[in-house]
Structure 1
Amino acid sequence: MQKLPIALLLCAILAGCAPMRDGPAPTTRIDGAQVDLVDTAITWPADTWWTRYGDPQLNALVEEALRNSPSLSRAQARLAQANAAVGSARSALLPSVAADYQLTRQRLSENYIYPAPLAGSITTDQRLALDFSYEIDFWGKNRSAFDAAIAGQQASAADAQAARVVLTGGVVQAYLNLQNAFAQHAVLTDIIKQNSEVLDITRNRFTNGLDTQVEVRQAESQLAATRVEQTQAETRIAQLRNQVAALTGAGPSRGAALMPAQLTRPAGVLPTQLPLELLGRRPEIVAARWRAEAATKNIDVAKALFFPNVDLTAFVGFQALGLHNLLQGSSRAAGVGPAITLPIFQGGALNANLAGQRAAADEATADYNEAVVNAVNQVADALDALRLLDHEREAQTQARTAIDAAYALARDRYRAGLGNYLVVLIAQNSVMTQALRDTDLRMRAYLLDAQLARALGGGYATPSGTVATRPAPLSADASSASTR
């Protein structure tokens, strides 16, 4: 018989809750097949993928960057904040206990509840107790908040790894650009020697009456222009040295110590298809997925706010009037009871909060979709460029061989008095252009290889027990869709 009133009371409480509005259909996550991802096996880059270039100088730079970079320190600080948020959310699932001591010196009213002789007297009101409180999580609000915090923690952990990938990729790219600048400077040094040789020939021809002062001045101008380009290459070297040093968290003196190096050309088989496992190999995709999971859990938190909040409170200790009898057995006190808060009318605040959480979840899902599309495009660009690199290298070799032969012939004819300076000048300019293209093409092979390694996740692998690599639905997608 006693259960019936309780059941009726619960029905009345639930009926009196603030009404929850339906929302629009949630944004759906992109499917791997939409972006041509297939279930195929490939060789993924190691987490120290740059060591395959065989350059101790580069290896040392990356190690320094990983030790000293402010960007990694910032990512670690954010991870520490996320860890703290998990601890805070976990505490809501557990009872809380607090020791409480209160002392109030007061005059008791003669017209209140106190009888004589207390009425009108000045006494001390004391309380020494242990207070207990526990929120009964009937609707899963605290559990969902804890799950959201866990998801945020995992997102921050993936963000920290993404920062590592960005940092190492940036150091390698800047270093390769520096090595290319060194190579271009060496090419321009050789071109200056050629220009000086032609200038000597032109001066001899002028002495022998075969050329005029015009050709001499043209040859001098060509030599000076090449020296200007060499100075510009030296400027690029200085700037790139500073950039590499900054990425390692060091000053300009660290960059000034960097020297030209011989790199080992990486060898490997390019994947013919984009792997589905890429979704778990790119840390920014994993982080975006965890953020979408956290946003979905926050929707559940917002829904739970529409239902009654039930807190169980209790205390045990001593209460007494006067200083002398607080710890006497007769001053013992204890109590227990529930506290129920029922939201009935909140001026639309609860529905506004729910709508905001739904919008945040849609935004997080859109961010995830964008991260997937960007990752796929980056891998595709790197693969296409690497596949066409051999054809480009073959054509460049032919062009360089032809112009070197043409220049040698033009120079020899000019020295023998059979040609003119204009032909030599045109050949000189073409030689310099093709020589610089040669260095760019050689270094481009390394740059594209580094770009592919970074696009494939830079050696990151999803920790076991976290996010699956396949695009399975988020845990609360179905429930979110049904209430919108």
Structure 2
Amino acid sequence: MRWMRSGFLVLLGALSSCALIREDSAPKPMIAPERIDLATDIRLARDGWPPARWWTRYDDAQLNTLIERGLADSPGVRVARERVEQARADVRRARAATQFKAAAFTRVYRQWSDADGRVGPFSITDPVPGLDDGGYNSGARDGTVSSAGIAGSYVFDLWGLQRSAVDATIGAQNAQLAEAAAVELEIATTVAQTYFSLQTTLRKIALLERTRDILAESVAAMKARKERGLITQTVVAKANEQLLQTEQLLSLAHTQVIGLREVLRALVGAGADDFAAIQAVPLPQPQPQLPATLSYALLSHRPDLVVLRWYVQSSFDQIDAARAAFYPSFDIKALLGFNAIRIDDVLHINSRQFRLVPGLTLPLFDGGQLNANLRKARTASNTLIEQYNQAVLNAVRDVAVAATQMQGMEEQARLEQEKYLQVRQGADDAQAHRDRGLVSRVAALEAQIPLLSEEAQLADTQGKRLAAEISLIKALGGGYDLPDSPHGDSAGQRGRR
């Protein structure tokens, strides 16, 4: 019993002299909920979060096809999904480290010893062959040693080091899942905004072509009048200059269409010969929505915030793992096999071996490495918390800016509509005079030019409203909703470690 008491005293002494935690500090505070809301003067007529497939509200088959193709074939989405698979592999690897491990082995090697019993360089502590297993050569003995069996080991996770490591990889995996959702949101919103910019440009091209046709007919009529001496060349040149300016605008618009088409093709991952032509369709009316309040709901609707929340949660688990490394680790190793001088005797019952080796590892003096690891984990966690807090403020700012722009665009659209109605009244009067024979056909057509210009301005305003609405949808998370909070509760409320 004396040796047991001595061993117990040695263990107590080791425990009392193990490495101490000196490099830890309190975590940084998370952002307060009252800072996750909008000013009271930012409101829209319709309340609510955007739905998951928000783009279907526009009832545009071309847009639906483009977004769905982008979400399926875009290289950016594929890269994000590959990262998710990598994160899942990391989780499986971390979980594998907590399991019992066993491996079968077999080996055959030569060993020798001289007459004085000194073992050669290729030997290990195994029996030396006798006279019948290698013979003598100037007093030396040699032979072939064969071994086979199964070796296994298991580490007892008493302090949660391995469990925390697994939780950290799970947090990183969930962050990658949210990152994939953020990439999908970026693709969907960029495709929608580019598509509506393209449709706006196509609408403006149609209006410019009508304007060009009217100006061409007007210039031809003026040239005929000039030949009769009714007007001067200066008047004809001015009308011709307006025609040339319109043709320049048309050329620029066609170039924009090509550029926007190529942007769409790159976004959806299409080749040069497998991208259908975009047909012009009427622009839909925007239907902007803004929740009555943001608060913590915004944290679960923005995938970029969820990414950071999971990384913060993962950093807490990494801190736990760094702290657990200060405590003793227990493991047990076992071996069951056979060892023999001659290959024929490997499977003989007398050659069997069994070993059971429990082990204890206790950090005593590590030169400050454990404290440095803990300090690094705590600093990284605090950095992530500060990044998360800033990201939340930026998210609230994004919603506020997008909602304010949407409010401003709706007011601008109202004013543009009033202006359009005024200009249309003049065009209608000119047509009525034409119907009664009071003005010429060319004069009635020329009265349509300001109206066409206002229609182009209305289309441009409507396109900007749609872009602002999509920016608001993106700022609100684009229909994303976190199904489960980190470890069952908010990452902002957990992990004060």
Q: For residues 382 and 109 of structure 2, what CA distance do their matches in structure 1 show?
A: 54
Q: CA deviation at 1:67?
A: 2.0
Residue identity in the other structure for 1:445: R
Q: For residues 18 and 386 of structure 1, what CA distance do their matches in structure 2 show?
A: 59
Counterpart position of 2:18: 17
1:131–1:67 CA distance, 2 compared to 1 (3 A)? same
Q: For residues 86 and 490 of structure 2, what CA distance do their matches in structure 1 show?
A: 29
Does the alignment pair 1:57 with 2:77? no
Does the alignment pair 1:28 with 2:29? yes
Counterpart position of 1:112: 117
Please give the residue correspondences for 1:379-418 in structure 2 after superposition, counting only pairs within 5 Å: 379-403=399-423
CA distances 1:294-353 after superposition (whole Å, capped 9, x unpaired) = 112112222222333332111112222222322222222111122333333333332222
1:471–1:351 CA distance, 2 compared to 1 (3 A)? closer
Does the alignment pair 1:129 with 2:134? no
- Report which stretch shifted further, 230-239 or 447-456: 447-456
Counterpart position of 1:289: 309
Does the alignment pair 1:330 with 2:350? yes
Q: CA deviation at 1:464?
A: 3.5
TM-score between both structures, scaled by the size of structure 1: 0.86
Instruction: Kindly indicate whether the alpha-carbon contact (under 8 Å) linking 1:52 and 1:264 is maintained by their aligned counterparts in 2.
Output: no
1:305–1:50 CA distance, 2 compared to 1 (3 A)? same
Please give the residue correspondences for 1:263-412 in structure 2 after superposition, counting only pairs within 5 Å: 263-267=283-287, 270-403=290-423
In structure 1, stretches of 5+ residues that fail to align are 480-484
SS at match of 1:101: strand
Residue identity in the other structure for 2:417: T
Please give the residue correspondences for 1:79-118 in structure 2 after superposition, counting only pairs within 5 Å: 79-112=84-117, 117=130
- Report which stretch shifted further, 385-394 or 260-269: 260-269
Instruction: Kindly indicate whether the alpha-carbon contact (under 8 Å) linking 2:112 and 2:128 is maintained by their aligned counterparts in 1.
Output: no
Q: For residues 346 and 469 of structure 1, what CA distance do their matches in structure 2 show?
A: 37
SS at match of 1:76: helix
- Report which stretch shifted further, 451-460 or 198-207: 198-207
Q: CA deviation at 1:142?
A: 0.7
SS at match of 1:47: coil
Q: CA deviation at 1:220?
A: 0.9
Counterpart position of 1:438: 458
Q: For residues 91 and 418 of structure 2, what CA distance do their matches in structure 1 show?
A: 62
1:219–1:428 CA distance, 2 compared to 1 (3 A)? farther
Counterpart position of 1:451: 471
Q: CA deviation at 1:235?
A: 0.5
- Report which stretch shifted further, 370-379 or 233-242: 370-379
1:248–1:208 CA distance, 2 compared to 1 (3 A)? same
Q: For residues 282 and 128 of structure 2, what CA distance do their matches in structure 1 show?
A: 98
* TM-align CA RMSD: 3.3
Instruction: Kindly indicate whether the alpha-carbon contact (under 8 Å) linking 2:309 and 2:491 is maintained by their aligned counterparts in 1.
Output: no
Match of 1:47 among 43, 52, 59: 52
Counterpart position of 1:163: 183
Counterpart position of 1:177: 197
1:219–1:42 CA distance, 2 compared to 1 (3 A)? closer
Q: For residues 21 and 192 of structure 2, what CA distance do their matches in structure 1 show?
A: 53
SS at match of 2:396: helix
Residue identity in the other structure for 1:216: V
In structure 2, stretches of 5+ residues that fail to align are 40-45, 119-126, 132-138
Q: For residues 467 and 221 of structure 1, what CA distance do their matches in structure 2 show?
A: 69
Q: CA deviation at 1:197?
A: 4.3
- Report which stretch shifted further, 237-246 or 336-345: 336-345
Counterpart position of 2:123: none
1:266–1:116 CA distance, 2 compared to 1 (3 A)? closer
Instruction: Kindly indicate whether the alpha-carbon contact (under 8 Å) linking 1:238 and 1:256 is maintained by their aligned counterparts in 2.
Output: no
SS at match of 1:103: strand
SS at match of 2:282: coil
TM-score between both structures, scaled by the size of structure 2: 0.84
SS at match of 1:291: helix
SS at match of 1:458: coil
CA distances 1:58-78 after superposition (whole Å, capped 9, x unpaired) = 111122222211111111110
1:115–1:333 CA distance, 2 compared to 1 (3 A)? closer
Q: CA deviation at 1:269?
A: 5.1
Aligned length: 468
1:297–1:66 CA distance, 2 compared to 1 (3 A)? same
CA distances 1:203-223 after superposition (whole Å, capped 9, x unpaired) = 355345453212211211110
